[in-house]
Structure 1
Amino acid sequence: MAEPIRVVVTGAAGQIAYSLLYMIARGEVFGKEQPLVLHLLDIPPMMGVLEGVVMELADCALPLLRQVIPTADPAVAFKDVAAAFLVGAMPRKEGMERKDLLSANVKIFKAQGQAIDQHARKDIKVLVVGNPANTNALVCSHYAPSIPRENFTAMTRLDQNRATAQIAAKLGVPISAVKNVVIWGNHSSTQFPDPSNGIVEINGSTKRVWDAVNDAAFLQGNFVETVQKRGAAVIAARKMSSAMSAAKAACDHMHDWWHGTTSGQFVSMGVLSDGSYGAPKDVVFSFPVEISNGKWKIVQGLQLDDFAKSKLAVTGKELEEEKGEAMAVCSAD
């Protein structure tokens, strides 16, 4: 068996982590032969709840799980870790303006970035799940200058999974038949779920999603809105946020980053923008990427029509505004 790797989950006493920890500890992310030491970070008032989570992980009797370290100290949480799931963030409360949310999260992700910089492995892979995820990832990398900036990513895989599920349902095919439906931009209601480069297998033949659905009004209207507003719809129905699907998406994101993507398949990740496809530079922007040897690469040469370009412009503008507000908080510190 391999040497154990250390993996940290923040917000570890919360809803998403409750599903996520079990999936990680079962070997669904890093592999069925990879032993793990789990570091669980949360705030001091949650330590009692975290104790219960630690008990449950022990009671699962998971062969890969060598040790669990619950802590409220970022220095302990990030010590020698190879992968980080940054789930904990300040949630948006009623009446809270976006700038208030950004300001609260800058403080959280500044502290975590500094701890990563000082204590984590230099090749750590960081996935930010806590919202606003794209800008939180940017802030975190800003405060961890010794770690390559491409090692900080934000989760838009949940949005991709939602989009893929919508197309599969529309066409009456299994999820596995639909590929390369991707997400551009921010993990917010401005994101652009894009089926135009997607493919689907129907009755043994491969078609473009666009041609198979054959309904531009649906693909540019109801489909886009459903994916953009799915999180709110889940909250309205469940009275809680989408925890199970978010945990699954976090596992998918890190699994593919760790092991690589299948040839010809794209996955959506919020990554540092180099300006590809006219996106603003130096924001964390969701692109379709391919991954090999633990390195992601933006897929180049995809065709975008005027509708898509207009959507990318809107989500890009929002990310630039968020960056401006967050960096103003950073420089005021």
Structure 2
Amino acid sequence: MMLSEEMLDIAEENLQALVETEKEEEEIRNLTNPLQIWITSASAPICYQLIPLLANGEVFGMTTEISIHLLDTDEFKNDLCGIVMEVEDMAFPLLRSISEHTEINKAFLQADIIIVLDDILLKREVQSLENYIRKVSEICYVYAPLIEKNAKKEVRVISAGKTFVNLKAMMIITYGPSINPENVIAVATSWETAAKAMLARKLNMNAAGVKDVIVWGNITGCHYIDLSHTKIYGCDSAVWGPANFSRPLMNLIYDSEWIHSEFLSARSSLRSRVCHCAAMLPAHAVATVLRYWFHGSPSGEIVSVGILSEGQFCIPEGIVFSMPVRFQNGSWEVMTELEINETTQEALERLSHDLIQVMISYT
């Protein structure tokens, strides 16, 4: 006896009630089943800066509890215990538990997220670069089967730090064939933000207004910072518009020689700044990528991460290569719609060749 319009109104109300109920149930599940986060080489300074960023609710949301597991060798057990006590005393509302681990066979139990640092190796006695790379490869050779055995099926693995992040991601994918390659990424955000800050200083503006800087290639090795898609918002210039109005970077930096000379030469100092930063920058980079992965990246913005190539942009398949992506609905997709100019394409060919040689040499 009900009119169609009335039935549609009731159906809409029922749908809204269902959505709200599901949201409440998800919040309850998040509170009763905390995310299990494992951090390797947890005595590294990056970890010390990263934990508060993960535990304050801004990364995973204010209704998601987390449990943090710190993994390192026996020689750093006292350091781990000190971190655990200090974090417990901070009483983060969303931190269910934090624990230290030195038994490698029990690593990554029920892990939802694994953050691979291993920068602590830099403090150890390593005779040469080749030996250091071999050490990294050996560690990943141990980690990958443990991830397959102990972690959850859809575990997300982040290769982070200041050295060989592409190689670490590649080794985990290679030595752990059952790990979903789409769930293994390398973090390039430190280079993005450092380049944005450099551009903002040149333009005398807030770095938040610099968007879409792309990092291509081997993140902590030979890479190319691409400004051809960079947009500027809120720059103090003769042309103004609403908050969503942007202008291409190349139209604002009239001194093109600065881009081709000073900016390129400044990248060496940029490398020095990123590689020798204490810990805040790489920790912020990891937290930012995790937040995007779980909640999506800002609409329309480009994010650079190292992923296993499937031939996008004519990059050879099977290598971990930093390229532009967007995060949405808990996953990422490569922004293949971007047009690549001749200069960038030449850089990609060179970087691909260099990275393949690295992978051949150390795999």
Provide TM-score, normalisation by structure 1: 0.91
Aligned partner of 1:147 among 152, 166, 179: 179
**TM superposition shift of 1:24:** 0.7
Q: Give 1:222 deviation, angstroms.
A: 2.7
Q: How far does residue 95 in structure 1 lie from its aligned partner after superposition?
A: 8.5
Asked whether the equivalents of residues 92 and 101 of structure 1 are also in contact (C-alpha less than 8 Å), the reply is: no
Q: CA deviation at 1:234?
A: 5.8
Pairing 1:141-180 to 2, within 5 Å after superposition: 141-180=173-212
Specify the alignment match of 1:103 in structure 2. 134
Deviations 1:167-224 (A, max 9, x none): 2221122222111111011113421111110111134341011211233322233324
Structure 2 partner of 1:331:
none
Q: Deviation per CA, 1:264-291, whole angstroms, max 9, x where unpaired?
A: 1110100011121122221110011011
Question: Structure 1 residues 99, 70: CA separation in 2 closer, same or farther (over 3 Å shift)?
Answer: same
Q: CA deviation at 1:306?
A: 2.7
Alignment of 1:299 onto 2:339: no
Find out whether 1:54 has 2:54 as its counterpart: no
Q: Percent identity?
A: 28
Give the direction of change, closer, same or farther, for the CA distance of 1:129–1:303 in structure 2 (3 Å limit).
same
What secondary structure sits across from 2:316 in the alignment? coil
Partner of 2:99: 69
Q: Secondary structure at the match of 1:160?
A: helix
Distance in 2 of aligned mates of 1:317 and 1:81: 35
2:272 to 219, 229, 232: 232
Aligned CA distance change for structure 1 residues 187 and 96 (closer, same or farther; 3 Å): farther
Query: What residue in structure 2 maps to residue 274 of structure 1?
Result: 310
Displacement of 1:99 after TM fit? 2.8
Q: Is the 8 A contact 2:194 2:274 kept in 1?
A: no
SS in 2 for 1:91: helix
For 2:248, which of 202, 208, 214 is the aligned residue?
Answer: 208
Q: Pick which of 310-319 and 277-286 moved more.
A: 310-319
SS of 1:56's equivalent? helix
| Superposition pairs of residues 125-140 of structure 1, within 5 angstroms | 125-130=156-161, 131-140=163-172
> What secondary structure does 2:220 align onto?
coil
Q: Which moved more, 1:139-148 or 1:221-230?
A: 221-230
Contact preservation (8 Å) 1:156, 1:183: yes
Q: Aligned residue for 2:24?
A: none
Q: Is the CA contact (8 Å cut-off) linking 1:259 and 1:293 kept in structure 2? A: yes
Distance 1:109 1:143 in 2: 7
Q: Provide the C-alpha distance between the structure 2 equivalents of 1:93 and 1:280, rounded to a whole number of angstroms.
A: 35
Kindly name which structure, 1 or 2, has the bigger radius of gyration based on alpha carbons: 2
- Deviates most, 311-320 or 179-188: 311-320
Structure 2's unaligned 5+ residue stretches are 1-27
SS in structure 2 at match of 1:40:
strand
Q: Is the 8 A contact 1:189 1:229 kept in 2?
A: no
- 1:42 Cα deviation after fit: 0.8
Conserved? CA contact 1:135–1:319, under 8 Å: no
Q: Displacement, 1:4?
A: 0.9
Q: 1:44 aligns with which of 66, 74, 97?
A: 74
Q: 1:189 to 1:227 in 2, by over 3 A?
A: farther
Distance in 2 (CA, whole Å) between partners of 1:67 and 1:298 is 35
Tell me how far apart the structure 1 counterparts of residues 315 and 107 of structure 2 sit (CA, whole Å): 34
Structure 1: distance between partners of 2:106 and 2:87: 19
Listed as ranges, the gaps of 5+ residues in structure 1 are 328-333
CA gap 1:98/1:279 in 2 versus in 1, 3 angstroms? farther
Residue number in structure 2 paired with 1:80: 110
Q: What's the Cα RMSD here?
A: 2.0
Contact 2:141/2:172, CA 8 A, preserved across alignment = yes
2:182/2:307 contact within 8 Å kept: yes
CA contact 1:200–1:209 (8 Å) conserved in 2: yes
Q: Is the 8 A contact 2:230 2:249 kept in 1?
A: yes
Q: Contact 1:99–1:325 at 8 Å: present in 2 too?
A: no
Aligned AA (1:252): T
Q: How many residues align?
A: 323
Distance 1:126 1:87, change over 3 A: same
SS in 1 for 2:338: coil
Name 2:17's counterpart in structure 1: none
